[in-house]
């Protein structure tokens, strides 16, 4: 099968700086039996995340989604294609469908598909969104949480759908023993990720437990400099025991999850999935989680859940783990096993009859279903 895997504008599929969406795409393509027939479309950039066929878009300042649709139409005519896969943006996916009416378009969502806010235009906007979605060949959701929410909110959309979560090639993960007495936070510099509460809670904990340190990996600080400065100030009392990092490649984040004792995911919003939680389990860190949305779907009983996203609750949870190493080790061990069962991309050497389907196998099967059932309008 010839597949075009298309990233939204301003995504460059670069190894040195990749978003969670780009990491997902790289993982799904790497584990697909259609990898050799897949071309990734992304903006002009540096060394790619994955050794795969790539076509580069020139950056577009205006009408970016229309230009993407036209560029793909020309690429289809030039190279041939059986299926186009697009990430996240509904309007662009619909425009791609309009300009390539003979091909099925699969939209891969990474968030909730929320209806419009209330107001005089809300009904019309929701009708437009439903019409756009019904033009597609299929939709994937990153968790059962997001699929259930979609089916409740959008009963008028009837295209094929499935859940395709983030996943990992666990053969490349090597958890370390013993673990460093550090608490890891990875997230954007925005309030709904709970970065400030995390910094304040960790600082309070570290004041009581001087053998412990922290590493905060904060992305996009330039989008919220005041908030970032507040996080920095909250960590300041820890001195050199706290590292505050920005612009960190995924390879470094992976290494941290493989070595730290505790990973902290204190999201305040309803997480669609929560890749950082899977990364913590993959590295065999003990996870402290807020448990919102898809976070409980990820961790089950293998995390210590916060009673609230407050500095006090975070301090209490961290202290409990520091005082009870057997609890921490048990959660880490069980979380690592759960992740390797549920979130594996591939299972080389294990017959399909002896295991559940992997994430990439389920995605490939969905592609097959969409292409087989597609009937152009």
Residue 54, beta-bridge partner list: 40
Q: Largest alpha-carbon pair distance within the chain?
A: 66
Quick one: how far is CA 2 from the chain centroid?
A: 25
**Integer Cα distance of 344 and 266 in angstroms:** 24
The CATH H-level (homologous superfamily) assignment of domain 170-342 is Glycogen Phosphorylase B; (3.40.50.2000)
Q: Is the pTM of this model over 0.85?
A: yes
Residue 107, pLDDT score: 98
Residue 353 pLDDT level (bands cut at 50, 70, 90): confident
- Topology match between the domains 3-163 and 170-342: yes
What are 35-84's pLDDT values in tens digits? 999 999 999 888 888 999 999 988 877 888 889 999 999 999 999 999 99
pLDDT at 158 over 90: yes
Q: Residue 182 corresponds to which tokens in the numbers above?
A: 């550090």
Q: Where are the domains of the chain?
A: 3-163, 170-342
Instruction: Centre a 10 Å sphere on the Cβ of residue 155 and count the other Cβ atoms it contains.
Output: 9
> How high does pLDDT run on average in the chain?
95
Q: Check: CATH 3.40.50.2000 for 3-163?
A: yes
Cβ 104 vs Cβ 374: under 8 Å: yes
> b or e along 219-246 (b: 16 or more beta carbons within 10 Å of the residue's beta carbon)?
bebeebeebbebbbebbeebeebbebee
- Summarised one tens digit per residue, pLDDT across range 310-346 is 999 999 999 999 999 999 999 999 999 999 999 999 9
């Amino acid at each position: 099968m010839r597949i075009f895997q298309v990233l939204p504008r301003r995504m460059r599929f670069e190894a040195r700086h990749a978003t969670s969406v780009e990491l997902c795409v790289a993982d799904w393509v790497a584990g697909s039996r259609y990898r050799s027939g897949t071309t990734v479309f992304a903006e002009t950039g540096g060394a790619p995340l994955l050794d795969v066929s790539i076509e580069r878009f020139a950056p577009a300042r205006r009408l970016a989604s229309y230009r993407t649709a036209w560029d793909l139409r020309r690429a289809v005519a030039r190279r041939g294609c059986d299926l186009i896969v697009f990430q996240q943006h509904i309007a662009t996916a619909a425009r791609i469908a309009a300009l390539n009416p003979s091909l099925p378009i699969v939209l891969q969502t990474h968030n909730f598909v929320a209806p419009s806010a209330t107001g005089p235009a809300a009904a019309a906007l929701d009708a437009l969104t439903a019409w756009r979605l019904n033009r597609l060949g299929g939709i994937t959701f990153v968790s059962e949480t997001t699929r259930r929410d979609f089916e409740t909110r959008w009963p008028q959309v009837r295209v094929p759908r499935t859940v395709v979560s983030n996943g990992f090639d666990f053969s490349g993960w090597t958890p370390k023993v013993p673990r460093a007495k550090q608490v890891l936070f990875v997230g954007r510099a925005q309030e709904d990720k709970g970065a400030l509460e995390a910094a304040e809670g960790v600082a309070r904990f570290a004041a009581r437990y001087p053998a412990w340190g922290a590493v905060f990996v904060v992305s996009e600080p330039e989008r919220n400099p005041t908030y970032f400065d507040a996080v920095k100030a909250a960590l300041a009392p820890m001195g050199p025991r706290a590292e505050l990092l920005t612009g960190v490649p995924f390879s470094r984040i992976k290494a941290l999850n493989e070595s730290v004792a505790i990973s902290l995911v204190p999201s305040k919003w309803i997480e669609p999935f929560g890749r950082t939680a899977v990364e913590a389990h993959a590295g065999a860190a003990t996870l402290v989680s807020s448990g919102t949305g898809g976070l409980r779907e990820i961790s089950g009983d293998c995390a210590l859940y916060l009673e609230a996203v407050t500095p006090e609750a975070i301090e209490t949870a961290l202290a409990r783990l520091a005082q009870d190493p057997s609890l921490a080790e048990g959660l880490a061990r069980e979380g690592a096993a759960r992740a390797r069962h549920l979130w594996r991309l591939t299972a080389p050497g294990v017959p399909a009859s002896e295991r559940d389907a992997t994430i990439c196998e389920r995605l490939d099967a969905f592609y097959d279903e969409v292409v087989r059932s597609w009937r152009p309008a």
